[in-house]
């Protein structure tokens, strides 16, 4: 049987699934319910300067009949007293000594404030600290949250302050609200951060109520940019994760992957692209804590099926397969193929290819339904017909190489080969 125990920066947990900093980890009653359900650990909701949250706080994006393709919130850090949170952290640690307890922190941008909150957190017996350099809304006026994570030198300075007093592992949580996470990632690693977590939420407006004309969520007739999360942000999270794993400086730091993880398959994708463990929030908020059973069972079964014994064996396996566009093989070519036994004759492949792509699908009008076939000489292998086809396995892609030799775009240009051959 596969062993899914996790060891992240020396912080051990029975599985690699932590609840990330957010509403599910705001107080003892929630955290106990989560750990009783089987979660490997939690990142306690961000502690720091006392704040006041607003009402309402959440909104969502519905798409094509699917509820909650994306989720949005304008909630800030914990609005409960610092000392109460610290007391409850101690109590949870006593009840669940085998689970990971990491505490998220975000405070005023001066050394004294950071030293004070780090020391108080360490006194609870917590296993690690996560520095919130990533909250995308609010607190900016105090030079906190994403305001820190968007400036490499400020981020470096704060990490250096923290490392002066830190006696437990420090994880720095990065914001995706930047062109590239690499400069800030390098800065925090060079300053001594033991690990990195990403991504936090993305600034967003999920929609507008067309009756009141107020963007969501509505707070007394007004709204504000919120933090976007949920399934829709996973591709962005995977991109940012990969850029850090491929960088010469940041690849030395273990990474806790966050962003749109809903199923065990999502988690495996994060592991394959270099995450050492993963954090989940939105999926738990929308489905409850019991999803941990499916996450653990699915991961373990997949590892058994593939012959992997430990998590370390799968971490980063897909990273070498991610390259730059100019290094891709131009001679590799595929074409679509329609399985007529599975085709339901909806015509989507023909409509989309004819209207928006390469006119590679031929329609033969007949009774009782039209039939379709691929014009291989015109097909560029773009995958559009396969993507829109509603029947799994009806359209597949077949390899039809243009030549035996591997050749990328840089070599193609260097040789001065004709462009119209491909």
DSSP 124: T
Q: Which of 135, 349, 379, 389 is catalytic?
A: 135
Are residue 365 and residue 337 in the same domain, yes or no? Answer: yes
Does residue 136 have a pLDDT over 60? yes
**β-pair partners for 203:** 227
CB atoms within 10 A of CB 81: 11
Which has the minimum average pLDDT: 21-25, 47-51, 69-73, 252-256?
A: 47-51
Give the C-alpha separation, 308 to 300, whole Å: 9
Rounded average pLDDT over 19-45: 97
Task: Compute φ and ψ for 290, nearest 5 degrees.
Answer: -70, -10
Are residue 408 and residue 294 in the same domain, yes or no? Answer: no
Do 239 and 233 contact (CB within 8 A), yes or no? no
User: Would residue 295 count as lying in a domain?
Assistant: yes
Are residue 281 and residue 329 in the same domain, yes or no? Answer: no
**β-pair partners for 19:** 42, 280
pLDDT, greater one: 289 or 49: 289
**Angle, alpha carbons 40-233-397 (nearest 5°):** 105
Rounded average pLDDT over 326-343: 96
pLDDT tens digits, 75-122 = 889 999 999 999 999 999 999 999 999 999 999 889 999 999 999 999
Using alpha carbons, select from 109, 114, 135, 124 the residue that is nearest to residue 21: 135
Single out the residue in 288, 320, 352 at which a domain terminates. Answer: 320
DSSP 268: H
Q: How confident is the model at residue 134 (pLDDT cuts 50, 70, 90)?
A: confident
The DSSP line for 194-236 is: SEEEE---EEE---B-TTT-PBSSPBTTB---EEEESGGGHHH
Give residue 109's pLDDT: 86
Are residue 99 and residue 218 in the same domain, yes or no? Answer: yes
Give residue 422's pLDDT: 42
Q: How confident is the model at residue 144 (pLDDT cuts 50, 70, 90)?
A: confident
Single out the residue in 293, 320, 347 at which a domain terminates. Answer: 320
Helix, strand or coil, per DSSP, at residue 156: helix
Does residue 147 have a pLDDT over 70? yes
User: Would residue 1 count as lying in a domain?
Assistant: no
Domain hosting residue 145, numbered range:
6-320
Are residue 180 and residue 138 in the same domain, yes or no? Answer: yes
Mean pLDDT of the chain: 94
User: Would residue 301 count as lying in a domain?
Assistant: yes
**Angle, alpha carbons 213-215-220 (nearest 5°):** 85
Ranges of beta strands (E only) in 352-419 are 361-364, 371-374, 395-399
pLDDT tens digits, 302-314 = 999 999 999 999 9
- Domain holding 374: CATH number? 3.30.70.20
Are residue 351 and residue 227 in the same domain, yes or no? Answer: no
Are residue 281 and residue 253 in the same domain, yes or no? Answer: yes
pLDDT tens digits, 362-411 = 999 998 999 999 999 999 999 999 999 999 999 999 999 988 899 999 99
User: Would residue 414 count as lying in a domain?
Assistant: yes
Helix, strand or coil, per DSSP, at residue 364: strand
User: Would residue 69 count as lying in a domain?
Assistant: yes
Using alpha carbons, select from 147, 168, 159, 146 the residue that is nearest to residue 186: 159
Does residue 140 have a pLDDT over 70? no
Give residue 403's pLDDT: 85
- Rounded-to-10 torsion of CA 215, 217, 221, 223: -70
For the chain, the residue count is 422
Question: Tokens standing for 200?
Answer: 């936090």
Are residue 52 and residue 150 in the same domain, yes or no? Answer: yes
The secondary element (H helix, E strand) that includes residue 58 is: strand 58-63
Is residue 293 exposed (0-12), middle (13-18) or buried (19+ Cβ within 10 Å)? exposed
Give residue 176's pLDDT: 94
Give residue 146's pLDDT: 77
Helix, strand or coil, per DSSP, at residue 398: strand
Single out the residue in 262, 289, 320 at which a domain terminates. Answer: 320
Our answer to whether residue 135 is catalytic in this structure is: yes
Are residue 127 and residue 240 in the same domain, yes or no? Answer: yes
User: Would residue 219 count as lying in a domain?
Assistant: yes
Using alpha carbons, select from 15, 67, 74 the residue that is nearest to residue 39: 15
Give the C-alpha separation, 195 to 186, whole Å: 11
Number of domains in the chain: 2
Are residue 375 and residue 316 in the same domain, yes or no? Answer: no
Give the C-alpha separation, 385 to 357, whole Å: 10
Helix, strand or coil, per DSSP, at residue 55: coil
Using alpha carbons, select from 46, 117, 47 the residue that is nearest to residue 281: 46
User: Would residue 271 count as lying in a domain?
Assistant: yes
Are residue 305 and residue 223 in the same domain, yes or no? Answer: yes
Are residue 395 and residue 364 in the same domain, yes or no? Answer: yes
Q: How confident is the model at residue 66 (pLDDT cuts 50, 70, 90)?
A: confident
User: Would residue 356 count as lying in a domain?
Assistant: yes
pLDDT tens digits, 345-365 = 999 999 999 999 999 999 999
């Amino acid at each position: 049987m596969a062993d899914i125990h996790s060891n992240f920066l020396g912080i051990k947990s029975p599985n690699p699934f932590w609840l990330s900093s957010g509403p599910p980890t705001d107080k003892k009653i929630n955290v106990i319910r989560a750990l009783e359900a089987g979660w490997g650990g939690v990142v306690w909701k961000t502690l720091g300067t006392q704040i006041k949250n607003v009402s309402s706080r959440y909104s969502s994006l519905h798409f094509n009949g699917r509820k909650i393709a994306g989720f949005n919130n304008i909630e800030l850090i914990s609005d409960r007293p610092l000392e109460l949170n610290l007391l409850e952290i101690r109590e949870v640690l006593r009840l669940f000594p085998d689970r990971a307890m990491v505490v998220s922190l975000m405070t005023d941008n001066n050394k004294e404030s950071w030293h004070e909150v780090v020391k108080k957190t360490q006194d609870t017996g917590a296993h690690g600290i996560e520095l919130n350099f990533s909250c995308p809304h609010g607190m900016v006026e105090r030079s906190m949250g994403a305001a820190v994570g968007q400036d490499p030198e400020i981020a470096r300075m704060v990490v250096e302050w923290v490392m002066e007093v830190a006696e437990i592992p420090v994880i720095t949580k990065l914001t995706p609200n930047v062109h590239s996470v690499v400069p800030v990632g390098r800065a925090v690693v060079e300053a001594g951060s033991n690990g990195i977590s990403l991504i936090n939420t993305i600034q967003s407006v999920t929609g507008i109520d067309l009756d009141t004309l107020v963007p969501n969520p509505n707070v007394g007739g007004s709204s504000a940019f919120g933090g976007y999360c949920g399934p829709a942000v996973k591709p962005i999270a995977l991109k940012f994760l990969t850029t850090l794993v491929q960088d010469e400086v940041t690849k030395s730091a273990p990474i806790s992957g966050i962003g749109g993880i809903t199923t065990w398959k999502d988690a495996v994708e994060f592991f394959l692209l270099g995450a050492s463990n993963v954090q989940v929030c939105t999926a738990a908020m929308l489905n409850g804590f019991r999803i941990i059973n499916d996450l653990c069972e699915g991961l373990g079964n997949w590892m058994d099926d593939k012959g992997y014994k430990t998590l370390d064996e799968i971490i980063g396996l897909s990273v070498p397969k991610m390259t730059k566009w100019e290094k891709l093989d131009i001679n590799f070519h595929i074409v679509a193929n329609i399985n007529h036994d599975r085709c339901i004759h909806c015509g989507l492949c023909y409509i989309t290819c004819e209207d928006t792509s390469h006119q590679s699908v031929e329609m033969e009008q007949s009774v009782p339904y039209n039939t379709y076939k691929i014009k291989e000489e015109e097909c560029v292998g773009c995958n559009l017909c396969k993507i829109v086809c509603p029947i799994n396995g009806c359209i597949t892609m077949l390899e039809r190489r243009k030549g035996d030799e591997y050749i990328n775009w840089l070599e193609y240009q260097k040789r001065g080969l004709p462009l119209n051959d491909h």
